[in-house]
Structure 1
């Protein structure tokens, strides 16, 4: 009873926020819009985005600014929930924020390697990260080299990781981003047991463990099919954690000498249903559906926990991905039916 009362407030808040999500009908209407300015005007009149677009001129916004506003909508919702949460709930949300921090670091790395990158405007996020992070996003985004980028990380937990990586030969942005992801998963796997307990720990462990297993499978498959990476090199890119994919099963996947052998070995594991999606190229779509299904099932099963909050934040993240896809489709004048197909896949 106490737990029900403890979570009733934040769950009620999240349910109210969920009513502001973009619906399938909204996306059908968006797919028929002819210009970016029409798109922004539509969102200005939508209850979920009115407050962040109402004072912006839709005729002056460029793609990077619009995408930045979309992502900031997720951060705004996160902040709204965080400010409402009690200490126990904030501990759970801190783990979610760490993913956002990793994502923005990866974007900054892309800017260093590609100055002409058509990425979103990071200045939109400065205020948010000032409240939740030790990172100096403005300095990181302005870095002209990886040496300067690493120097701007001094005083943060990431400095030693990047300083060590810098000493490697021929390191690429892919290497930096992969090692950031591995760092994230290793840290979260340890931190969850210190920060969480009870149902919150069960929910987070199931979600994170499933994500680790699936990402390892996806990366190993791609490395063998598209990149021809040597088996010994594969170990440095694998997240060294296993959940329902046992350690010996993971090792066998790493050591598979062909795609046929990889699939045959995968078919002996808990994740055998993934095989067909790897082969037909729909794994990315299936991955998103799996993670959403896990989040929704957890929210239903553990309703008096942070599970409904996690589910909402994931739905918001998916919504932003869909809005960004719609933005690109409208920009390139795709037919409405093609736009809708790409957006809702």
Structure 2
């Protein structure tokens, strides 16, 4: 009853926002268009993207600006949900908000390592961001050296992680991004137990536990197939979470002598037994399918709960990722059927 009273208004708001998600037919229509400009004009028919693109000069619609504007639609939706939430619901949103801070930190890091100028566009999110974040985005984006960049992060939750990396020899962009991701994932896994109990905790544990373990499987596979990394280096990349896969299974996978042995071990894990079509070759697409299934099912079964917030934000970000791929397919004139295969695998 408490969940119903607390979440009824917010759940109604989220269900209304979900009604504006694009269907597979909409994605098909986009892939059949003749130009990116036609695709953008098509998106203007949808409430989620109308306000993003309507005020923009068509001459300014290049690849980076379009992707940036699509991301802005995510931030706008997050701010809408936050404004409609109560204090308890905002605890989860504050935790989730770190995801957007991580994205901005990575943008700044990439710019620094590439030695290029960067302008962070927070136009649709600036007021909210300034109120809720301790990041000094201006100082970070204008930093010309790593020590200067790390110094700009003093007073934030990320400073300790980054300052330790400065003490290592020749840290790379990969090192910084992995350290940032691992910090963020550990923080979520720890904080959910402090913030929630009962069904909320159970749903979040299932969602995040599955997410992190699926990411670990992908990292083990990529590390062995593409990078030929040592076992010690692979262990350093893994998210320290145990949910459906035991430590013994992880150890066996990391220590596997070849891809054939790894495939056999992965085929014995919980996710391979639980989900049809699961295999070594389609880990990324299965990750998307599994997360979509878990969050949609949990949100449907427990609509008046925190999982409804997580489900909406996940699906919104997933839609934007698919849109970016769809627009790239239009740009390079990839046949519609082939484009839809790419989109559905995302």
Q: Same fold judged by TM-score > 0.5?
A: yes
CA RMSD of aligned residues (A): 2.2
Of stretches 101-110 and 207-216 in structure 1, the one that deviates more from structure 2 is 101-110
- Measured at CA, do residues 276 and 18 of structure 1 come closer, stay the same or move farther in structure 2, by a change above 3 Å? closer
| Matched length | 343
Aligned-partner Cα distance in 2 for 1:122–1:115:
19
Of stretches 20-29 and 157-166 in structure 1, the one that deviates more from structure 2 is 20-29
- Describe how 1:129-278 pairs up with structure 2 within 5 A: 129-273=129-273, 277-278=278-279
Question: What is the Cα deviation at residue 168 of structure 1?
Answer: 1.5
Question: What is the Cα deviation at residue 222 of structure 1?
Answer: 1.3
Aligned-partner Cα distance in 1 for 2:241–2:26:
40
- Residue aligning to 2:78: 78
- Residue aligning to 2:316: 316
- Measured at CA, do residues 208 and 310 of structure 1 come closer, stay the same or move farther in structure 2, by a change above 3 Å? same
Kindly indicate whether the alpha-carbon contact (under 8 Å) linking 1:192 and 1:204 is maintained by their aligned counterparts in 2. yes
Q: CA offsets, 1:26-85, max 9 Å, x none?
A: 212211222222222222232221122221122322221111111111111011011110
Kindly indicate whether the alpha-carbon contact (under 8 Å) linking 1:11 and 1:308 is maintained by their aligned counterparts in 2. yes
- Residue aligning to 1:59: 59
Kindly indicate whether the alpha-carbon contact (under 8 Å) linking 2:267 and 2:279 is maintained by their aligned counterparts in 1. no
Question: What is the Cα deviation at residue 278 of structure 1?
Answer: 4.9
- Measured at CA, do residues 59 and 335 of structure 1 come closer, stay the same or move farther in structure 2, by a change above 3 Å? farther
Kindly indicate whether the alpha-carbon contact (under 8 Å) linking 1:30 and 1:39 is maintained by their aligned counterparts in 2. yes
Aligned-partner Cα distance in 1 for 2:224–2:96:
31
Aligned-partner Cα distance in 2 for 1:24–1:38:
18
Kindly indicate whether the alpha-carbon contact (under 8 Å) linking 1:64 and 1:121 is maintained by their aligned counterparts in 2. no
Kindly indicate whether the alpha-carbon contact (under 8 Å) linking 2:211 and 2:291 is maintained by their aligned counterparts in 1. yes
Structure 1 stretches (4+) deviating beyond 6 angstroms?
none
Aligned-partner Cα distance in 2 for 1:131–1:22:
31
- Residue aligning to 1:279: 280
Kindly indicate whether the alpha-carbon contact (under 8 Å) linking 2:31 and 2:327 is maintained by their aligned counterparts in 1. no
The answer for unaligned runs of 5 or more in structure 1 is none
Q: CA offsets, 1:98-140, max 9 Å, x none?
A: 22222222222122222469x9954445444213211122332
TM, length-normalised to structure 2 = 0.92
TM, length-normalised to structure 1 = 0.92
Q: CA offsets, 1:261-305, max 9 Å, x none?
A: 22233333313358975532x221111111111101111222220
- Residue aligning to 2:45: 45
Kindly indicate whether the alpha-carbon contact (under 8 Å) linking 1:67 and 1:324 is maintained by their aligned counterparts in 2. yes
Aligned-partner Cα distance in 2 for 1:133–1:122:
15
Kindly indicate whether the alpha-carbon contact (under 8 Å) linking 1:63 and 1:120 is maintained by their aligned counterparts in 2. no
Of stretches 251-260 and 151-160 in structure 1, the one that deviates more from structure 2 is 251-260
Q: CA offsets, 1:168-202, max 9 Å, x none?
A: 22321111111111111111111111122222211
- Residue aligning to 1:87: 87
Aligned-partner Cα distance in 2 for 1:242–1:19:
35
Aligned-partner Cα distance in 1 for 2:85–2:182:
29
Q: Alignment partner of 2:109: what SS?
A: helix
- Measured at CA, do residues 34 and 115 of structure 1 come closer, stay the same or move farther in structure 2, by a change above 3 Å? farther
Aligned-partner Cα distance in 2 for 1:98–1:259:
35
The answer for unaligned runs of 5 or more in structure 2 is none
- Measured at CA, do residues 276 and 21 of structure 1 come closer, stay the same or move farther in structure 2, by a change above 3 Å? closer
Q: Alignment partner of 1:59: what SS?
A: helix
Q: Alignment partner of 1:303: what SS?
A: coil
